[in-house]
Amino acid sequence: QVQLQESGPGLVKPSQTLSLTCTVSGGSISSGSYYWSWIRQPAGKGLEWIGRIYTSGSTNYNPSLKSRVTISIDTSKNQFSLKLSSVTAADTAVYFCARTDRGSNFDSWGKGTLVTVSS
């Protein structure tokens, strides 16, 4: 069974770049027709889809974040990554990575990692 694990700094200063990596285990990130997504959730609030990447490197981003987001994939390491630039306190959230079946169904999730934006 595939497992996902987010990693990266838990504290980022305002105006800097948030960087997270999701490591996939229990299966190849290149197998099947899966996309790989990032989703975030501010404390006590709802879920916001950030974007997705296919194994080919093709990406789709949420327009609300598009100017600041980059998602990349490293199939040799079985990982995909998120970079979010020019962060503010509004970017403080739990960040989840998720396998995305049929491009749209988040069927396996990491446990999530809390990223706090503060000086």
* Binding piece for other proteins, criterion CB under 8 A, among 8-16, 17-25, 76-84, 95-103: 95-103
**CB 40 within 8 Å of CB 96:** yes
Least Å from the CB of residue 99 to other proteins? 10
Phi, psi of 104 (to 5 degrees): -140, -15
Least Å from the CB of residue 119 to other proteins? 27
Q: What distance in Å separates the CA atoms of residue 40 and residue 91, rounded to the nearest whole number? A: 9
Q: Looking at residues 10 to 69 of the shown chain, list those that interact with other proteins (rule: CB under 8 A).
A: 46-49, 60-64
Size of the site for other proteins (CB under 8 A): 20
Least Å from the CB of residue 18 to other proteins? 19
Least Å from the CB of residue 107 to other proteins? 5
Name the one residue in this structure whose structure tokens are 């497992």: 3
Closer Cβ to other proteins, 75 or 109, answer by number = 109
Q: Is 105 in the site for other proteins (CB under 8 A)?
A: yes
Task: DSSP letter for 98, please.
Answer: E
- Residue 62 to residues 3, 26, 41, 50, 114: CA-CA distances in angstroms? 25, 28, 14, 5, 20
